[in-house]
Amino acid sequence: MSMTFVGITRFSVVTRDSLGWFRSTRDLTVEEAKQQLFEGSRIKSRLHMFRRFALPSYVAMTKRPRSYALIVINDDLPPYARRRLDEMLAPHPRIRLVTIGRGQSFRSKPRQVSIELAEGGRLYSYRLDDDDALSPAYFDVIAPRLDALADRTVVSAIDGLTIAPEPDEVINLRSCRHKYNAQGMGVVSGPDDYLTAFSLGSHMRVNTRFPVDLVTTGRPVWLRTRHASNDSPGRLGAQPVSLGLPEALVRLKADFPFLNEAAMRALYMPLAASEPEAAAS
State residue 236's pLDDT score.
Answer: 57
pTM score, two decimals?
A: 0.89
- E strands, the chain, in order: 3-10, 67-74, 95-100, 122-127, 133-134, 153-157, 159-166, 170-177, 186-189, 212-215, 222-225, 241-244
Closest CA to 181 of 145, 118, 114, 133: 133
Q: What is the pLDDT of residue 124?
A: 98
pLDDT at 154 over 70: yes
Give the tens place of pLDDT for each residue, 168-194.
Answer: 999 999 999 999 988 999 999 999 999
pLDDT tens, position by position, 240-271: 899 999 999 999 999 999 999 999 988 887 64
More confident of the two residues 279 and 121: 121
Instruction: Look at the chain and count its residues.
Output: 281
Tens-digit pLDDT profile for residues 115-131: 999 999 999 999 999 99
Determine the Cα–Cα distance for residues 267 and 45; give it in Å rounded to an integer: 9
Sign of CA dihedral 219, 212, 3, 11: negative
Higher pLDDT, 279 or 76: 76
CB neighbours of residue 270 within 10 Å: 11
* DSSP line for 186-223: EEEE-TTS---GGGS--GGGGGGTS-EEEE--SS--EE
Asked if 110 and 8 count as a contact pair (C-beta separation under 8 A), the reply is: yes
Instruction: For 214-268, give the DSSP string.
Output: EE--SS--EEEE--TTTS-TT---SPPEEEEHHHHHHHHHTT-TT--HHHHHHTT
CA 264/CA 197 separation, integer angstroms: 28
